Amino acid sequence: MFFLVLGTRPEIIKCSPVIRAFENQDVPYHVIHSGQHYSYEMDRVFFEELMLPAPGFALEAGSGSHGRQTARILSGVEEILQSHRPSAVLVQGDTNTVLAGALAAVKLHIPVAHIEAGLRSFDRKMPEEINRVVADHISRFLFAPTPVARKNLLSEGIGEEKIFVTGNTIVDAVYQNLDIARARPLNIPGTGGIGEGRYILATAHREENVDDKRNLQGILEGLGELAGETGMPVIFPVHPRTRKMMEVFSLVPDGIRLIPPIGYLEFLRLESSARLVLTDSGGVQEESCILHVPCVTLRENTERPETLDAGANVLAGTDPARIVREGLAMLDKRRDWKNPFGDGRAAERIAGVLLRTGEEISSFEKTKV
* Touching ligand UD1, residues 190-209 (CB under 6 A): 205
Q: Is 304 in the site for ligand UD1 (CB under 6 A)?
A: no
CA geometry: angle at 61 spanning 57 and 64, to 5°? 165
Among 9, 257, 269, 304, the residue binding ligand UD1 under the rule CB under 6 A is 9
Question: In degrees rounded to 5, what are phi and psi of residue 294?
Answer: -60, 150
Stretch that binds ligand UD1, among 6-14, 187-195, 229-237, 314-322 (CB under 6 A): 6-14
Least Å distance, CB 240 to ligand UD1, is 3
Q: Does the annotation count 205 as an active-site position?
A: yes
- Cα–chain center distance at 66: 18
DSSP state of 3: E
Residue 313 in the binding site for ligand UD1 (CB under 6 A): no
Residue by residue, DSSP assigns 280-322 as --HHHHHHHHHTT--EEESSS--S-HHHHHHTSEEE-TT-HHH
Does residue 293 bind ligand UDP (CB under 6 A)? no
**Active-site entry in 37, 114, 205, 239:** 205
Q: Mapping DSSP to helix (H, G, I), strand (E, B) and coil, where does residue 111 land? A: coil
CA dihedral 309, 297, 326, 300 (to 10 degrees): -90
Rule CB under 6 A: is residue 244 a binding residue for ligand UD1?
A: yes
Check if the beta carbon of residue 61 is closer than 8 Å to that of residue 55.
no
Residues in CB range of 136: below 8 A, 6 or more apart: 114, 117, 118, 142, 153, 156, 158
Which residue among 44, 56, 63, 308 contacts ligand UD1 (CB under 6 A)? 63
Three-class secondary structure of residue 278 per DSSP: strand
Which is nearer to ligand UD1, 68 or 338 (by Cβ)? 68
Query: In whole angstroms, what is the distance from residue 258 CA to residue 338 CA?
Result: 32
Nearer to ligand UD1, 10 or 253 (CB): 10
Out of 8, 92, 166, 357, name the contact with ligand UD1 by CB under 6 A.
8
Residue 240 binds ligand UD1, judged by CB under 6 A = yes
CB of 57 to ligand UD1, least distance (A): 18
Q: Does 145 bind ligand UDP (CB under 6 A)?
A: no
Q: Given the rule CB under 6 A, which residues bind ligand UD1? A: 8-10, 36-39, 42-43, 63, 94-96, 127-128, 205, 239-241, 244
Task: Give catalytic residues, as residue numbers.
Answer: 205
